Structure 1
Amino acid sequence: MTIPELIAGNGTAFSYEVLPPLKGNGIDGLRKTIDRLREFEPKYINITNHRAEYVYRKVEGGLMERLHTRRRPGTVAVAAVLQRECGIPLVPHVLCSGYTREDIEYRLLDMQILGIENLLLLRGDKAREDAVFHPTEGGHAHTTDLQMQVNEFNAGRFVDGTPIRQPGQPFSYGVACYPEKHEEAPNLESDFQMFKRKVELGADYGVTQLFYDNAAYYRFVDRCRKAGITVPIIPGIKPLSKLSQLTLVPKTFRCDLPEPLAHELFRCTTDEAVKQVGIEWAVEQCRDLIAHGVPSIHFYTVSAVDSIAQIAPQVY
C-alpha cells in the first residue's frame, strides 16, 4: 500500500523517522525503539540515508589520515530486515547527495527485490567540507531530477534508456516541503513553486520540515489547496530536548520558535527542563493539528524517543 492509502481513514495516523545505526553497531537499538513505540500503531517508519563523508584518523608519526567513509551504511538492508520483523512498512530515504545515477539505480533494484514499495526522495545535505551543495559527478542536483529517474524506472527504463526486461512493482514516493522555506530558497514563492513542481512530477505526498508554529503549517497547506495541490501534507514534529537546541534548531532548520515557547525555553537551565517544555509544547501542537483534521503526524526521533513515548499517549 502507498503512504496515502496507509494514512487514509478515520483519525490522525502516527509515524516516525529513525536513523540507521553507526557502522558496526548492529540494529538492536532500532529494535528497542520500534518495540517502545509499537503500541501507538505506526502506519509506517522512515529510515534516513547518509552520504559518505571525510573523517580523520591518527597514523604513525603523529600525522592524520583523511578517509572517505559512510558512518551510517545499511539503510536498505536495515529497512528490509525491520519491515520483515515488525510487519510495519519501512520507507527508506533516497538521496541525490553523494550518489551517482547508477548508484541510485542499483538501490532501486535492491529495494524492489526486497519488497520495499515506498520511498522518500530528497536532495540531501551538502558535504560538510562544502560551503554550498554540489551534486556528485554523474548524480543529480535537485529532487526533481531524482524524481524523473524514479519515474523512468517505474516506467520500465534504466537510466541509460534500455528497457527493464521484468519491471517490478512501481515505487510510490513522497517528498519534503517547507512551511517556513528551505534554507537555500531565495524566497517563499520560489520554494512553493519547487514543491508544486515535485507534485506535478508525481509525488504522492509531502512531509514537512519540523516546525513549532502551527500557523505556518496551516498557511502553507491553505496555499497548496488554493493552487490545486491535493496530496496529503504530513506535518513533521520534533520535540525539543536539549539546551543547545534553543539556538541550533532555528539556525539549522530555518524555523522560528514562537514567542511563548521561546519565553519558556529561555527560563530553562538544564536539558531536563527543556525536555519537559518540549513535551508540553509538542502535546499542544499535536492536539491542535489533530483538531484541524491532519491525516497523519510524523515524528523525528533523534534525541527524542523518550519524549515521543510520553507525547503519543496524550494525543492518540
Structure 2
Amino acid sequence: MVASTVPFSLEVFPARSSAAALALGHTVQRLAAHFPSFIAVTSGADGTSAAESADLVEYISRNAGVPVLAHVTTWGRSDDELRDRLRELREQGVRHILAVKGDPPRVDPGTAGDLTSADLVAIARETFAEQPGDVTEIAVAAFPDGHPSGGGVDRDLELLLGKQRAGATRALTQVQFTADAYAAYLVRAREHGITIPIVPGILPVTNAGRLRRVAELTGSDAPAGLLARLEEAASPSEAEEAGVEFATDLARDLLAAGAPGLHFYTLNLADPVLRVIAELGLTPLTPRDEFVATTTHREFA
C-alpha cells in the first residue's frame, strides 16, 4: 500500500475497428471512474490516423469527466498546421498536451520536417497564451534507457533540457522495467539542470510476446524473471497475475526512488491497470460486474 494521494495518469490509443471502438468507450469510462490526473491519447498510434486520435480526444473531453492529454506530433506538419491543431484542442477545452516528434504514419508517411519537440513546446506555449487565463500542461517524452534511435542517455538529457527551456512542464518516460534505471536517470537529469517532474511509465504486460515486442521498441532488456513467468503461465489469468504483480512491485520501487507520480500505458485494457491501482491503494477498484456506463457510447473509430 502506498499513499493514496500519489497522482497517476493513464494512456489509451484510438481503436482500429467499430467493435474495438465500442469496447474502448467502456474502457475509458471504467478508467475515468478512478479519477486519474488525466487520460492521454496517442496520436495516430498502432496504424490509426490523426483524425481518429482527434475524435477520441473529443470523446474523452466531452464524456469522461476527467482531463484529457492529447499527443501532438510535429511529423510532416508546418508551424501553421500545428498552431491550427493546438487552437482546435484549446476550443475543445483541452489543456494538457504531450509534445513529441512522433512516428511516421504507416500510410503515406511523408517527410518528418524540420520542427523538433522543443519547437513544438514553444509553439504550444505561444498558442495557448493567445487566450488569457488558460492553464496548460505541456508534457514531453523522456528515455531513461536512451532513445531507441540512438544517442544514449546524455543526448536524451540534452534534448530534455532544451524542451524544459522551451516551456515543458513535465516529462513522461517510456515504459520502465527497473527502478534502478529510473533512479539513475533522475540523478543525471538534476545534474543537467532539469527540474521538471519526470514521471515513469509503467505497462502491466500480460503475455510473453507483448513483453518481447515492448522491449524491442524501447531498446530495453525484457525482465528475465517476468518473461519466464509469462512463458510458463498455464492460462491467460495466470499470465495476467504475473504481469500485475510485477507492475505493482515496480510501481512501489519507482515511488521509493523518487517518482512524483505514475503514468500507466494501458494498451486499451482496463483490468490489469485497475488491479495495479487497487493493489497500490490509489483508488477503490470498481468490480467489473458492478460497472455501469453512464454516458453515451458513440463510436469514434
- TM-score category, normalised to shorter length: 0.7 to 0.9
User: Distance between the aligned counterparts of 1:52 and 1:45, measured in 2?
Assistant: 18
Deviation, structure 1 residue 246: 3.6
Checking the alignment, whether the CA contact within 8 Å between 1:239 and 1:304 is kept in structure 2 is: no
Checking the alignment, whether the CA contact within 8 Å between 2:7 and 2:261 is kept in structure 1 is: yes
Partner residue, 1:121: 99
What letter matches 1:233 in structure 2?
I
Deviation, structure 1 residue 264: 3.0
Partner residue, 2:13: 19
SS at match of 1:220: helix
What letter matches 2:117 in structure 1?
T
* Structure 1 residues 34 and 155: alpha-carbon distance in aligned structure 2, compared to 1, 3 A threshold: closer
User: Distance between the aligned counterparts of 2:20 and 2:105, measured in 1?
Assistant: 25
SS at match of 1:73: helix
Deviation, structure 1 residue 129: 7.7
In the alignment, is residue 33 of structure 1 matched against residue 27 of structure 2?
yes
Q: TM-score, normalized by length of structure 1?
A: 0.77
5 Å-filtered alignment, 1:192-203, equals 192-203=157-168
Partner residue, 2:61: 83
Partner residue, 2:299: none
User: Distance between the aligned counterparts of 2:80 and 2:160, measured in 1?
Assistant: 25
In the alignment, is residue 169 of structure 1 matched against residue 134 of structure 2?
yes
Partner residue, 1:276: 241
Deviation, structure 1 residue 149: 2.4
What letter matches 2:163 in structure 1?
K
Partner residue, 1:4: none
Identify the structure with the greater helix proportion: 2
Aligned residues: 279
5 Å-filtered alignment, 1:107-118, equals 107-118=85-96
In the alignment, is residue 92 of structure 1 matched against residue 70 of structure 2?
yes
RMSD value over aligned CA atoms?
A: 2.9
Deviation, structure 1 residue 234: 0.8
Segments of structure 2 that go 5 or more residues without pairing to the other structure are 282-301
Higher relative contact order (CA 8 A, sep 6+): 2
Partner residue, 1:145: 119
Deviation, structure 1 residue 77: 3.8
Partner residue, 1:48: 42
Partner residue, 1:216: 181
Identity %: 28
Deviation, structure 1 residue 134: 7.0
Aligned partner of 1:101 among 58, 79, 85: 79
Checking the alignment, whether the CA contact within 8 Å between 1:211 and 1:256 is kept in structure 2 is: no
User: Distance between the aligned counterparts of 1:175 and 1:87, measured in 2?
Assistant: 24
* Structure 1 residues 276 and 24: alpha-carbon distance in aligned structure 2, compared to 1, 3 A threshold: closer
Partner residue, 1:204: 169
Which is worse superposed, 209-218 or 184-193? 184-193
Checking the alignment, whether the CA contact within 8 Å between 1:96 and 1:135 is kept in structure 2 is: no
What letter matches 1:40 in structure 2?
H
Deviation, structure 1 residue 222: 1.5
Please list the CA deviations of residues 4-46 of structure 1 after superposition, one character each: whole Å capped at 9, or x if unmatched.
xxxxx98311210111233656954333113322443211110
Please list the CA deviations of residues 240-266 of structure 1 after superposition, one character each: whole Å capped at 9, or x if unmatched.
112312421211111222343344344
